[in-house]
Amino acid sequence: MRRFVADKATRLIKRHSTCSPCLVSHSRLHSHPPLSHPTLPFSSFPQSSISSSLSFFISALHPFSSANFNSMSSNYSTTPVTLQTINPKVLKCEYAVRGEIVTLAQKLEQELKQNPDSHPFDEILYCNIGNPQSLGQQPITFFREVLALCDHPPILDRSETQGLFSADAIERAFQILDQIPGRATGAYSHSQGIKRLRDTIAAGIEARDGYPADPNDIFLTDGASPAVHMMMQLLIRSEEDGILCPIPQYPLYSASIALHGGTLVPYYLDEATGWGLEISELKNQLETAKSKGLCVRALVVINPGNPTGQVLAEDNQRKIVEFCKNEGLVLLADEVYQENIYVPDKQFHSFKKISRSMGYGEKDISLVSFQSVSKGYYGECGKRGGYMEVTGFSPEIREQIYKVASVNLCSNISGQILASLVMNPPKVGDESFESYNAEKDGILSSLARRAKTLEDAFNNLEGVTCNRAEGAMYLFPRIELPQKAIKAAEAVKTAPDAFYARRLLNATGVVVVPGSGFGQVPGTWHFRCTILPQEDKIPAIASHLTEFHKKFMDEFRD
Amino acid sequence: MRRFVADKATRLIKRHSTCSPCLVSHSRLHSHPPLSHPTLPFSSFPQSSISSSLSFFISALHPFSSANFNSMSSNYSTTPVTLQTINPKVLKCEYAVRGEIVTLAQKLEQELKQNPDSHPFDEILYCNIGNPQSLGQQPITFFREVLALCDHPPILDRSETQGLFSADAIERAFQILDQIPGRATGAYSHSQGIKRLRDTIAAGIEARDGYPADPNDIFLTDGASPAVHMMMQLLIRSEEDGILCPIPQYPLYSASIALHGGTLVPYYLDEATGWGLEISELKNQLETAKSKGLCVRALVVINPGNPTGQVLAEDNQRKIVEFCKNEGLVLLADEVYQENIYVPDKQFHSFKKISRSMGYGEKDISLVSFQSVSKGYYGECGKRGGYMEVTGFSPEIREQIYKVASVNLCSNISGQILASLVMNPPKVGDESFESYNAEKDGILSSLARRAKTLEDAFNNLEGVTCNRAEGAMYLFPRIELPQKAIKAAEAVKTAPDAFYARRLLNATGVVVVPGSGFGQVPGTWHFRCTILPQEDKIPAIASHLTEFHKKFMDEFRD
């Protein structure tokens, strides 16, 4: 059955250009060549033929279809929508962070609930995703106080409120409500977000960078993902438009490029130099893409890196800015981990600060910076707040971005408020400052310790090497898998690193994401593991990993 | 300059297929034929050539570009992105609800702030958008109490809280937190939304319809718009895929179809029969579309109607279901106004209830119902909560919808909680029931009165006829414009109804949306006006409208 699903998937992908339900032939206009097309990204991206099958192979495990895939689907024979007739861009899109392994983990979690002894572990540890509060991280009190007060302003004037909330949270809530037209937290806002909250964010960016920021450059969004989609939608016209993305990359980028019908142009980070970003590699990949007839529109840089955790050096960033300027590329800077730095020898510098420090202004380089309330020390993933700062685009292009934003009216107001708080937290002298600062430092210093402990644990495993997490929330260790393990994986039609990750899950309850979900140098194998489990659980995780890995190697050692 | 912008826009739209910045020719693969292509929607949709120019004409008024459009843009000559090189689908997309008139209104509002005597009115009245709380509607207290408590759970156990919040709000907050894994309101949830909140919503749907609902069919989204985009993304493969949409329609649909590169297949509602939906019209338009080589995938029905305010009769709904089943169309049911019914002789029936009552089950018809927390009596637009109930799709298609949802991780948790509250409000016997019910009835009965007053006011105007608002939040009066007014509009390169709307705004501060933004029978002119200004302001609005209209007619009467 597994074979059936995987084969079917591959066949379907190969048959992009059929529009079976229509009586007319679409071949004349159809814009989706088969995967063998020389300009398509994944022909130069070996993992994907495996992972494409994988993303369908998932179907066999997902709740919806696990029951009895064949019979169930055949019952729908009279309904109009089939895998053969949906948008092939959707079919091609993949998102490993919530893919096969997670679906399996959810299944095991259900089984544990029904029977605590059904597996050799008592809980599933989700190390697959940067979702801190799901693993017990507590929200920053001040931020939540303000959000609660803005949700129910009538209590602001009540005496009991003084006893329940800090004075500066109450004051901030009043300030924020005064900044919202009609104090209406339940109204649609300006499609870029509430103007005076954007003023606050712009001031925060200015304080961070030491260079001016314009509130009209800020577009508030429901987390960073919709902002990335908006830019891809703006830039991608056809599969002949290319976007340079790091490999390994956060799969939001490959997914968004696939959904918008563009081509991912991979550039490989150098694992040997701590996931270094080499300009020569950018140049080579750009030339190769051009020689294939691609029109490369933008360069995606993730700093601090996801899944790779490196923090770019200032000098490296300058070269990247220079490269984008010279090659006429939009620089899409994913800077959502700007607060997550764990090593004294590295610092975060925004690409806007770097380009301004090089003397490049608004008219010189097109730069978009993405920020989110989901990461940092706050980790408010569920609030879906974020923004993009859009600089170096002409008024008429900004008008187009505004138009697309306006179709969805606005992002959620709580997320907008939280984004303004994150860029303007309590200051020295504010009543909440000490507790706020203690919460913040507690989280960040603990994350640094967890990163180091897990990094060391990985480096102590046979055939495993792991770069340090200088920032972000992840480690991306490399595993030398024995040929015997690779063959065993191929036998069940799965990628070797996915095979390892599934075995790890079944043995320990620890959920990681196979490297093939992020892309990796062909023939190398990795997985992404977050550093987010609470600190008291880290030693147990380390020893479970060690024990599992030893058994795995004993079983498959050549 | 206006002429320059409009002409430029038209030229650009006509030149979809150029990819100037690339050295390679894309004509071989390019999938965007010029607007003259026979199968494109708007060739059979006369308003749009006008409104296309309009949406660019906006540029001349928008803050970004108002300063000095030509010089500013020319300064960006070294940046890589131009109107000629962005995704032509973005260029084609329009969203009149926040278009030209609103941009002008924002400008006037600024001028009023600087000088209260700068215009013949003291405030801008935004009747352009269904945004109740922006016009003073108060949120439902119980809902906000629960949201505040879920934002800051530590206060749940504090004695002061008893004095500030109703007992059942506290109890409900405890319940909801227990339903959230780890009580983590700041964590990403399952990509369809928190399972136990979906259980609550499914139970609410069951109570509403009297037929079973499955929580696995619910996809929680940031308002209804992202859900609509998701379905368009799934169904649309190329501009040869058509989506049947009512005309007049809510422009989210035309915008989403344009962004996803499909073709809007218009069916006209019959104004003479109170915006009746005739099956014969559906059949004609479907046949016409097929004869043009289109593959029609789905039928959009908005009930209660936006902008038209009609409520479909049960018998009419049965015929629509039958039509979709026979023609193999997905039924996309926009049911966000299900709570907004103002006439005793009409009732809301969900299309799911109708199809189940006809004996059609999960395997017989593909049906998606959209619901939002932004409308109804709650009007929580800023919370961006909503869901779609997806029925009649095979497991493997549901798997694809889930995958697309997972790329954005999840919708905001406050919006998810609010969606569960809206589908499970206080019941008889709950402490909050009486106050909740008073707030709800107060809002709905007031809306009914406002609708009637404005409807009568419009019908008393020379050359204006207005159907009653049976539901939703809008009136869509028709104006017989004198030839002289139409000529005056053409002279400034704008649609006659946009010309009227701009004159109305400049004279009264009342913001309405021209009918050309929704589509209308060629040669007829309308505008959409919400019924949302607070009741005490309605008489003044009515008299301002009357006074303005009389003057307008006196000026332009032939």
The string of pLDDT tens digits covering residues A225-242 is: 999 999 999 999 999 999
pLDDT tens, residue by residue, A92-150: 998 776 678 888 999 999 999 999 999 999 999 999 999 999 999 999 999 999 999 99
Residues of B whose CB is below 8 A from A149: 148
Between CA A469 and CA A340 the distance in angstroms is: 10
d(CA B276, CA B308): 10
> Does residue A132 have a cis peptide bond before it, meaning omega lies within 30 degrees of 0?
no
- Rounded distance between C-alpha atoms, residue B245 and residue B232, angstroms: 12
Q: Is the pLDDT of residue A393 over 50?
A: yes
Residues of B in contact with A148 (CB under 8 A): 148-149, 151-152, 155
Q: Which of residues 451-510 of B touch A (CB under 8 A)?
A: none
What tokens were used for A149? 């007060």
At A100 the pLDDT is 81
Query: Hey, are the CB atoms on A24 and B240 less than 8 Å from each other?
Result: yes
Q: CB of B66 within 8 A of CB of A399?
A: no
Residue in A87, A95, A145 nearest the CB of B237: A87
| A95/B216 CB distance under 8 A | no
Question: Is B182 at the interface with chain A, CB within 8 A?
Answer: yes
Least CB–CB distance from B363: residue in A75, A132, A182: A75
pLDDT tens sequence across A6-63: 344 344 444 433 333 443 333 333 333 332 332 223 333 333 333 333 232 222 223 3
Neighbour tally for A268: CB within 10 Å: 18
For chain B, counts of helices (H) and of strands (E): 21, 14
Asked if A116 reaches chain B (Cβ–Cβ under 8 Å), the answer is no
* Residues composing chain A: 558
pTM above 0.80, yes or no: yes
Give the closest residue to A304 by CA, choosing from A275, A281, A330.
A275
Cβ–Cβ below 8 Å for B33 and A29: yes
Distance between CA atoms of residues B195 and B46, nearest Å: 46
Average model confidence (pLDDT) across chain A: 87
pLDDT digits (tens, 9 = 90+) for A292-327: 999 999 999 999 999 999 999 999 999 999 999 999
* Tokens describing residue A336: 């959502």
Percent pLDDT > 90 in chain A is: 82
Chains A & B: contacts with CB separation below 8 Å? 399
Close Cβ partners of B506 (under 8 Å, ≥ 6 residues apart): B108, B119
Is the alpha carbon torsion for A489, A491, A495, A499 positive or negative? Answer: negative
Give the closest of A82, A164, A411 to B384, CB-based: A411
Residues belonging to chain B: 558
Contacts of A402 in chain B (CB under 8 A): 62, 64
Please say whether the beta carbons of A22 and B262 come within 8 A.
Answer: no
Do B222 and A297 lie within an 8 Å CB cutoff?
no
d(CA A168, CA B423): 36
The amino acid present at A154, given as its one-letter code, is P
Are residues A66 and A107 in contact, defined by beta-carbon separation less than 8 angstroms? yes
Q: Which residues pair with A331 in a beta bridge?
A: A299, A367
Which residues in chain A touch residue B328, judged by CB atoms under 8 angstroms apart? 21, 80
Chain A closest-CA separation from residue B246 CA (Å): 18
- For chain A, the 3-state helix, strand and coil shares in percent, each to the nearest 5, are 50, 10, 40
> Binning pLDDT at 50, 70 and 90, where does residue A74 land?
low
Task: Check A408 against B223: CB less than 8 A apart.
Answer: yes
- From first to last of the 558 residues of chain B, give the pLDDT tens digit: 333 333 443 344 444 333 334 433 333 333 333 323 322 233 333 333 333 332 322 222 233 333 333 444 558 888 899 999 999 999 999 877 667 888 899 999 999 999 999 999 999 999 999 999 999 999 999 999 999 999 999 999 999 999 999 999 999 999 999 999 999 999 999 999 999 999 999 999 999 999 999 999 999 999 999 999 999 999 999 999 999 999 999 999 999 999 999 999 999 999 999 999 999 999 999 999 999 999 999 999 999 999 999 999 999 999 999 999 999 999 999 999 999 999 999 999 999 999 999 999 999 999 999 999 999 999 999 999 999 999 999 999 999 999 999 998 999 999 999 999 999 999 999 999 999 999 999 999 999 999 999 999 999 999 999 999 999 999 999 999 999 999 999 999 999 999 999 999 999 999 999 998 899 999 999 999 999 999 999 999 999 999 999 999 999 987
* Residues 6+ positions from B357 with CB-CB distance below 8 Å: B211
Rounded Cα–Cα distance for residues B229 and A224 (Å): 18
| Residues of B in Cβ contact (< 8 Å) with A408 | 222-223, 225-226, 229
Task: Please list every residue in chain A whose beta carbon sits closer than 8 Å to the beta carbon of residue B164.
Answer: 155, 158, 160-161, 164
Select the residue of B148, B392, B407 nearest A152 (Cβ to Cβ). Answer: B148
CA-based nearest residue to B406, from A558, A170, A106: A106
Q: Model confidence over B293-341: pLDDT tens digits?
A: 999 999 999 999 999 999 999 999 999 999 999 999 999 999 999 999 9
Note the pLDDT of residue B521.
93
Q: Are A367 and A330 in contact, with CB atoms under 8 Å apart?
A: yes
Nearest-angstrom CA–CA distance, A144 and B6? 48
Asked whether the beta carbons of residue B26 and residue A407 sit closer than 8 angstroms, the reply is no
- Residues of A within 8 A of B239 (CB-CB) are 29
The Cα–Cα gap between B489 and A522 comes to 63
Task: Using an 8 Å CB-CB cutoff, list chain B residues near A123.
Answer: none
Q: Which residue has the tokens 């109204």?
A: A187
Minimum CA–CA partner of A135 in chain B: B182
Radius of gyration of chain A (CA): 24
Contact B412 A413 (CB under 8 A): no
Nearest to B395 among A64, A395, A410 (CB): A64
**From CA B413, how far away is CA B184, in angstroms rounded?**
10
Chain A from 336 to 355: CB within 8 A of any B CB: none
Chain A residue closest in CA terms to B191: A98
Q: B83 and chain A: CB distance < 8 Å anywhere?
A: yes
- CB contacts of A160 in chain B (<8 Å) are 160-161, 163-164
Nearest to B399 among A62, A256, A381 (CB): A62
**CB pair distance less than 8 Å for A410 and B98:** no
Task: Select the residue from A128, A176, A188 to test the B interface by mutation, using most B Cβ atoms within 10 A.
Answer: A188
Instruction: List, for residues A153-196, the tens digit of each pLDDT value.
Output: 999 999 999 999 999 999 999 999 999 999 999 999 999 999 99
Q: Do B397 and A63 touch (CB under 8 A)?
A: no
Sign of CA dihedral A531, A536, A540, A542: positive
Is the Cβ of B293 closer than 8 Å to some Cβ of chain A? yes
Note whether A407 contacts B222, CB cutoff 8 Å.
Answer: no
pLDDT at B338: 98
| A293 in contact with B, Cβ within 8 Å | yes
Establish if B413 touches chain A: CB-CB under 8 angstroms. Answer: yes
- In this structure, the number of other CB atoms found within 10 A of the CB of residue A539 comes to 11
**3-class DSSP assignment, residue B526:** strand
Q: Is the separation of the CB atoms in A472 and A305 below 8 Å?
A: yes
> Closest approach of chain A CAs to the CA of B327, in angstroms?
9
User: B122: buried, middle or exposed (CB in 10 Å: 19+, 13-18, 0-12)?
Assistant: exposed
Beta carbons of B133 and A182 less than 8 Å apart = yes
DSSP symbol at A445: H
Is A184's Cβ below 8 Å from some Cβ in B? Answer: yes
Query: Of A81, A136, A225, which has the smallest distance from its Cβ to B408's Cβ?
Result: A225
List, for residues B39-90, the tens digit of each pLDDT value. Answer: 223 333 333 333 333 232 222 223 333 333 344 455 888 889 999 999 999 9
> Cα-Cα-Cα-Cα dihedral of B359, B360, B362, B367, to 10°?
-140
Looking at per-residue pLDDT, the higher value among A41 and A435 belongs to A435
